């Protein structure tokens, strides 16, 4: 029996020196010391031994097992150290190498312009209001003095969810909701996405951003409208911008106007951007129509107000000299990375 044990130990030592991974070590341990291991076989065969031999063999086997288990523990330790060393060697970081620059995002030109405009009006004491993009026909049209058969409906090609619900075509519904929930004085702007089923081309997108504004109080006049919008444009494009107003018509304002500003590219000389005009159209505006005030529960005999609106995309294109609105929505990094 001792020879048998020595033979096991010999073979064990040979295999121990030959192995190089903890998996091989575990395999050796199981085969020699495991439940079905070689020593277990011997212990099972102890039945065939004499009563005085059994304790001797038992002792021999346990000593041998402890000896081999000790060897396994020390080899396991050294294998773990070796694995760490190899890992460390392979993971040496050459700190002199430049780091991998993670691409930094940047603000989208639309959001840059939106924030600049919001800050200008916040400085002028305006609040910023938001509202639902899926809107009731009443708030998008009726309350704005655009009854069912009004041509303006046609002009604004509308996405109808059903005959009572639309995707808003302008942010004016936000003003109506504000008028219903807030008593004058009201000074607010409503920025946000609007939807029109226009065909996509260099100046039209079915989804675009608008900013509209509204001021309602006692004694508000067209002079307040001109002063406020002239100041806005000067803060937005520069103090040398001159503004002028051309009569226009909107169902929700009376009188109405469109406001032009000197082209900030050629400063009035006339260029490609302003098509030689020296001026470019910036926004639409007007005194709030008394019918709209009434529908909003405001007495036009006591209160008056002005309103304005413009396409944020269009103003962003004017500001950055962008000639195709699709660039603002195609997320092409070659275009967007210019705005970091």
Binding site for ligand 2U9 (CB under 6 A): 170, 172, 175-176, 210, 212, 214, 250, 252-253, 283-286, 288, 292, 307-311
Q: What is the DSSP secondary structure assignment for residue 161, as one 8-state letter? A: E
* Residue that the structure tokens 């504000």 belong to: 178
Q: Which residue's CB is nearer to ligand 2U9, number 28 or number 215?
A: 215
With contact defined as beta carbons under 8 Å apart, do 278 and 243 qualify? no
Q: Which of 292, 296, 258 is nearest to 277 (CA)?
A: 258
DSSP string, 241-304: --EEEEEEEETTEEEEEEEEEE-TTTTTS--TTTTTSSEEEEEEEEEEPHHHHHHTT--TTT-E
Q: Work out the number of other CB atoms within 10 angstroms of the CB of residue 75.
A: 17
Q: Which residue's CB is nearer to ligand 2U9, number 72 or number 113?
A: 113
Cα(241)–Cα(307) distance, rounded to whole angstroms? 21
Q: How far apart are the first and last CA of the chain?
A: 82
Q: Which residue is nearest to ligand 2U9 (CB)?
A: 284
With contact defined as beta carbons under 8 Å apart, do 211 and 171 qualify? yes
- What is the closest distance, in whole angstroms, from the C-beta atom of residue 179 to ligand 2U9 in the complex? 6
- What is the closest distance, in whole angstroms, from the C-beta atom of residue 333 to ligand 2U9 in the complex? 28
Convert 217-246 into a string of H (helix), E (strand) and C (coil): ECCCCHHHHHHHHHHHHHHHHCCCCCEEEE
- What is the closest distance, in whole angstroms, from the C-beta atom of residue 214 to ligand 2U9 in the complex? 5
Q: Which residue's CB is nearer to ligand 2U9, number 105 or number 147?
A: 147
- What is the closest distance, in whole angstroms, from the C-beta atom of residue 311 to ligand 2U9 in the complex? 4
Q: Which residue's CB is nearer to ligand 2U9, number 22 or number 203?
A: 203
Q: Is 134 helix (H, G, I), strand (E, B) or coil?
A: strand
- What is the closest distance, in whole angstroms, from the C-beta atom of residue 337 to ligand 2U9 in the complex? 28
The sheet that has 165-167: what strands, in order across it?
134-136, 165-167, 160-162
Consult the annotation and say whether 69 binds a ligand. no
Q: Work out the number of other CB atoms within 10 angstroms of the CB of residue 47.
A: 7
Cα(54)–Cα(2) distance, rounded to whole angstroms? 12
Q: Which residue's CB is nearer to ligand 2U9, number 64 or number 171?
A: 171
- What is the closest distance, in whole angstroms, from the C-beta atom of residue 278 to ligand 2U9 in the complex? 21
With contact defined as beta carbons under 8 Å apart, do 42 and 1 qualify? yes
- What is the closest distance, in whole angstroms, from the C-beta atom of residue 151 to ligand 2U9 in the complex? 15
Q: Which residue's CB is nearer to ligand 2U9, number 27 or number 248?
A: 248
Find the radius of gyration of the CA atoms of the chain.
41
Q: Which residue's CB is nearer to ligand 2U9, number 210 or number 243?
A: 210
Residue ranges of the annotated binding site for Mg(2+) are 254
Residue ranges of the annotated binding site are 254
């Amino acid at each position: 029996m001792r020879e048998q044990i020595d033979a096991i130990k010999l073979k064990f030592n040979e295999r121990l020196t030959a192995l190089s991974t903890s998996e091989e070590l575990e395999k050796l341990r199981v085969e020699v010391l495991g439940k079905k291991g070689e020593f277990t076989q011997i212990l099972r065969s102890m039945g065939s031994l004499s009563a005085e031999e059994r304790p001797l063999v038992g002792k021999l086997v346990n000593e041998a097992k402890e000896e081999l288990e000790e060897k396994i523990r020390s080899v396991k330790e050294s294998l773990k150290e070796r694995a760490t060393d190899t890992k460390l060697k392979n993971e040496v970081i050459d700190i002199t190498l430049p780091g991998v620059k993670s691409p930094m995002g940047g603000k989208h030109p639309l959001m840059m312009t939106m924030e600049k405009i919001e800050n200008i009006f916040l400085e002028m004491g305006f609040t910023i209001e938001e509202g639902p993009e899926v809107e009731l026909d009443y708030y998008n049209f009726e309350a704005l003095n655009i009854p069912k058969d009004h041509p303006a409906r046609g002009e604004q090609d509308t996405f109808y969810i059903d005959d009572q619900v639309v995707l808003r075509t302008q942010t004016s519904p936000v003003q109506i909701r504000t008028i219903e929930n807030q008593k004058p004085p009201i000074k607010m702007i409503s920025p946000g996405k609007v939807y029109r089923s226009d065909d996509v081309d260099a100046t039209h997108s079915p989804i675009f951003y608008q900013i509209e504004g509204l001021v309602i109080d006692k004694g508000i006049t067209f002079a307040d409208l001109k002063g406020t919008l002239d100041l806005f444009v000067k803060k937005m494009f520069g103090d040398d911008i001159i503004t002028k107003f051309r009569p226009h018509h909107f169902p929700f304002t009376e009188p109405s106007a469109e406001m032009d500003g000197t082209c900030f590219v050629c400063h009035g000389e006339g260029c490609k951007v302003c098509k030689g005009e020296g001026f470019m159209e910036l926004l639409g505006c007007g005194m709030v129509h008394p019918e709209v005030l009434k529908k909003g529960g405001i007495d036009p005999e006591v209160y008056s107000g002005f309103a304005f609106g413009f396409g944020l995309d269009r103003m962003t294109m004017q500001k950055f000299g962008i000639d195709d609105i699709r660039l603002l929505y195609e997320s092409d990094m070659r275009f967007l990375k210019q705005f970091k």
